[in-house]
Structure 1
Amino acid sequence: MDHHYCYFQKLLQLHKDYGPLVRIGPNEVSISDWRYYRAIYSSNKASSKEPTFYLPIVFVDQHNIFAMTNKDEHAARRKISASPYSLQSMTRLEPMIRSKAGNLARRLLEISSSATTGTVNAFLMCGLFSLEVVCKAGFGKDFPFEDTTDLTELLEAMDGSAFTFILDGLLPWLRPTGFAHKMPFVGEPYQHRRQWEQKSRALLREFLQLPDKDEGYLISPYLSSVDGFLGRKLNHEEFVEEAMGIMFAGSGTTSTTLTYLLYALSRPGYETIQTRLRAELEDSGESVAELRKLPYLNAVIKETFRLYPTIISSLPRVLNEPMKVHDIDLPVGTVVNMQNFVHHRDPAVFPDPELFNPERWLKPHADMESALTPFSLGRRACIGLNLAWDELYIAVSSVFRNLELRLGEEMTEADMELEDRFNIAPVGHKLMLKVSKAKKLS
């Protein structure tokens, strides 16, 4: 894939050529200096979400917690939804996540062993794992291990919908016509989106019939709580909107991070990283409390966050106050952008930035930790970060305790180039791995 046609790669090159502040539009700039990230993104006072970017990110034409630009509206909706994502709530989900991670490891081994190619598409398997977790945590929905048809169809509908959110921003008149799904070129993504909506509504109908639907599922607070901004409970369409948001934000992001972690460790020449990680895991217990303390496991995950940031799009903000950036005064109303992909590759903070090197995190300096922003910062930071971390801890532990991974011979570097669909995906939409049982090191 030609990087010149990748917006994020083009921005990186512009900053290399012209410095930390680049004008990319009449009233819009890109900033590569990570030291400005906190001031811009963690302060509700300094900046606001840029509405033309966020408002099209809707699922059934209602407001959702991610796309809300009104700060009071967002604060009220986040207050409703925060409780199930707390660390305390994650403890309750741990056995379920471990069960789904066991399914992931089992599928990787069984499919690879039985395939004529001797490989398995780990990109698909990671997607199934993450979607299984979010469907169970969000809506109490289990899928049978033996038959992944329904789960795969839901995943493919979501995956195939990604392009529509770009189109909705560029052509906001298109979807309301009702004919988008019938048009050439754009029709297929919109058909996938209709299928995703239909499957989501069916999932919610099942949830509403559960006897314990108020017992801490991710969607439960939206059903039972009064929205302080609206002064009422959410109506059904608003409920559907937030449910699709949970699936959208809670599955594709984590699964892509896990996909690139498996890729990074399965490449030729990286066997020592896999072996070192396995040795650390074998010496540890399997609880999340124990996994959180493992230095090399954390290093591998952080290095994956750094090199393969799942949210790769610029997240534009509008300045509410003047800001000075490297002796340049930016006035109120300036649209400012920062990208994880760009400042995660700052060579002053991360030497050899294109190299996957977990060892850099074993003795990190303060700037490294501050410059790593996979979940954003402040009140608009990812609400599901505790769930994402626990999924990664448990899944990586389950896979590398038990399995040895090698990159399939049919894979090329081009297959794993980053595709920008707001969150990333491999351009080839596959990660073919050879999988075998790991030999115990001790």
Structure 2
Amino acid sequence: MNAVVAAVLIMLILSALRVNVTIALIVGAFAGGIIGGLGVEETINVFSTGLGDSATVALSYAMLGGFAVAISKTGLPEAVVDGALKVIGNSNDSKRKALSKVLIVLLVLIISCFSQNVIPVHIAFIPILIPALLRVFNELELDRRLITCVITFGLITPYIFLPAGFGKIYHDILAKAVTAGGVEVNPSDIPTAMAIPALGMVVGLIIALFSYRKPRVYKTVDISEGIERITYSKRSLIVAIIAVLAALVVQLLNSDSDGAMIFGALAGIIILTLSGATNFKEADEVLTDGMKMMAFISFVLLSSAGFASVITETGDVNSLVNYSADLIGDNKALGAFLMLVVGLLVTVGVGSSFSTVPIIAAIFVPLCVQLGFSPLATLAIIGTAGALGDAGSPVSDSTLGPTSGLNVDGQHDHIWDTCVPTFIHYNFPLLVFGWIAAVVL
């Protein structure tokens, strides 16, 4: 049996059985190495060497987790919630209520998008902000499935299209993986390649706004117990904004460096600590808590790099590509569609677009070359195939994050209220628009 197919299948089956993704990747890599004839010792060595390929990315996630928790101590999330409460007021006027719905949805959308670049804290903002907004959602009778779709859009679309924050990480991973596969590309080409797939995400959001437009009634449950209320002042909010701007500026000034996110987060943390916004005596605990919050993603990224190294070293990638090419023939349209579907299946199992790209690029890039796809089309295929499945995967941070915030009162089901709605509204449009991009670029 082909070692690559065996490794991916084992990893997917274990993931589907809810085995920890990191364990599934390690077991899949080990099995693939043995089947591919590497032997136990060589498989372990190749896997270990491959871990270094994602070390910078893993550290970036850890630092951003610490930055997110430190920012929360300034009271910035509470200020946002208080502003939202002022927006809806106490009026029962239908026009005021409709306007408030639009403004609140827009607020959540902006914050979700900004969490990937302007304030690069990823899903860390959700358990800090969303539970406090549930009372607002309930008063406006907002369908939480809509909020889920809005948050998921904000978590995915910016990183697949914009080369900033987590988008820079994704673009760097994508460019390196495609270049390593034999197609020389530049990260600056990725926004052009991913513009059409990103438009598919916009279409999905518009459909979700229509699908979940009707009022939905929830019970208002007191969830204040156990939730820390941070007292904020004008000074603490100003410091928070300065820290965010500092992190963004450092990141932009060093956009060509792999460590830009690390030092951007570090700049923000230093400002928060020196200003007193983060208590110096508590700084270590705060940063450690934040790093723990993002540790899972970091371990998955490290494991996926080792996984990709092993399946590449087996040499079975070429035989798989040749077999796939024979099956597809010269039909580029069919080839693009099948690659996107495989990407969807892998990401649904793995739960991370960032981890999927190195896995599928080793297989897909040579196939794209064989089928005659342009470098831009190749980027679109690999980039979209990686992003497909991030929405809807039960083990994705893009679904686990929204559920963690919306289900604190027990009224939001992870599968039916998060995974199914996001899968339907984003994966189908992304599949269609990703295929269009592959064909026209």
Structure ranking higher in helix proportion: 2
TM bucket, shorter chain: under 0.3
Structure ranking higher in strand proportion: 1
* TM-score, with structure 2 as normaliser: 0.27
* TM-score, with structure 1 as normaliser: 0.27
